């Protein structure tokens, strides 16, 4: 007759065996085992007080809890001591986001700041008064790896009245935006005929009236006659100067 040692359980074989006529023992050799203390990260995970033991028997269960503002991202919060002396499942991993996702000097949050943010926690941010967003994200989510989604928002003080920007209605619907752009193009179209450059420009136009034709002919003949007379007079003067004196 065998007995398992303290804090051990029979997992296979027989605790009572008989010497047979052939010189062998009946049954199988007994195997007694226990489970060691299951490993876990005490900085992020707690073990249920009622489950705290120095040794664990086969079939014993232990229950874990993630610490405040921590979430289970992998592993198991309940584990059972198996016949082979190991624990089923995997070591629980609890995480949180610790780094603040924003600069409190220039940015406000919709929730009070805490030391640990639970996984999947969404934080909505706004730039402080007289500040505007120049980069980053105003909505951030705590991820399973303990990091924040997106990038830390950068809000800088306005160099012009921020109220003007805040009062604008931003159109996000692409259909409405396209319609609005067409309306603005009609309003902002340039009338080239009313530009100062066009007004200053003079263009000659054809006049088919008889009176205008007559005036044109008279002026033309007069101009040609003046030119011819000028040439004749200049030649005549040159001739008179060069004629020999008697």
Asked if 105 contacts 89 with a C-beta cutoff of 8 angstroms, the reply is no
For residue 232, what pLDDT is reported? 78
Q: Is 60 exceeded by the pLDDT of residue 193? A: yes
The stretch 179-202 carries a mean pLDDT of 76
For residue 202, what pLDDT is reported? 58
SS3 215: helix
Q: Report the C-alpha gap between 147 and 176 in whole angstroms.
A: 37
For residue 206, what pLDDT is reported? 65
SS3 222: helix
pLDDT tens digits along 132-181 = 888 888 899 988 888 899 899 999 888 765 555 554 556 666 777 788 88
Q: Dihedral of the CA atoms 100, 105, 110, 115 (nearest 10)?
A: 30
Distances (CA, A) of 165 to 190, 215, 223: 27, 66, 69
pLDDT tens digits along 13-45 = 888 988 988 888 899 988 887 887 777 888 888
Q: Report the C-alpha gap between 153 and 136 in whole angstroms.
A: 4
pTM of this structure: 0.46
Q: Report the C-alpha gap between 144 and 201 in whole angstroms.
A: 71
pLDDT band at 8 (very low <50, low <70, confident <90, very high): confident
More confident residue, 15 or 245: 15
For residue 73, what pLDDT is reported? 86
Q: Report the C-alpha gap between 123 and 100 in whole angstroms.
A: 10
> Domains plus CATH for the chain?
98-166 (2.10.70.10)
More confident residue, 209 or 8: 8
Q: Report the C-alpha gap between 44 and 53 in whole angstroms.
A: 20
Q: Tell me the helices (H) and strands (E) count for the chain, helix number first.
A: 4, 13
pLDDT tens digits along 66-94 = 888 888 888 999 999 888 788 899 999 88
């Amino acid at each position: 007759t065998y007995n398992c040692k303290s804090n051990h359980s029979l997992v296979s074989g027989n605790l009572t065996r008989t010497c047979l006529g052939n010189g062998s023992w009946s049954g199988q050799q007994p195997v007694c085992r226990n489970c060691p203390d299951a490993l876990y990260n005490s900085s992020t995970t707690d073990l249920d007080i009622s489950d705290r033991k120095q040794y664990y028997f086969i079939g014993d269960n232990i229950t874990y809890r993630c610490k405040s503002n921590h979430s289970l991202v992998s592993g198991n919060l309940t584990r059972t001591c198996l016949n082979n002396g190991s624990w089923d499942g995997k070591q629980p991993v609890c995480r949180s986001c610790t780094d603040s996702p924003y600069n409190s000097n220039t940015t406000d949050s919709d929730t009070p700041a805490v030391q640990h943010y639970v996984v999947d926690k969404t934080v909505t941010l706004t730039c402080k008064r007289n500040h505007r967003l120049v980069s980053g994200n105003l909505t951030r989510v705590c991820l399973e790896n303990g990091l924040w989604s997106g990038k830390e928002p950068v809000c800088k003080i306005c160099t012009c009245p921020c109220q003007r920007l805040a009062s604008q209605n931003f159109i996000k619907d692409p259909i409405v935006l396209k319609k609005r752009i067409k309306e603005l193009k009609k309003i902002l179209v340039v009338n080239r005929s009313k530009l100062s450059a066009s007004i200053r420009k003079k263009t000659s136009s054809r006049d088919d009236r008889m009176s205008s034709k007559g005036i044109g002919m008279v002026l033309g003949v007069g101009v040609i006659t003046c030119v011819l007379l000028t040439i004749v007079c200049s030649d005549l003067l040159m001739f008179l100067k060069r004629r020999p004196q008697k």
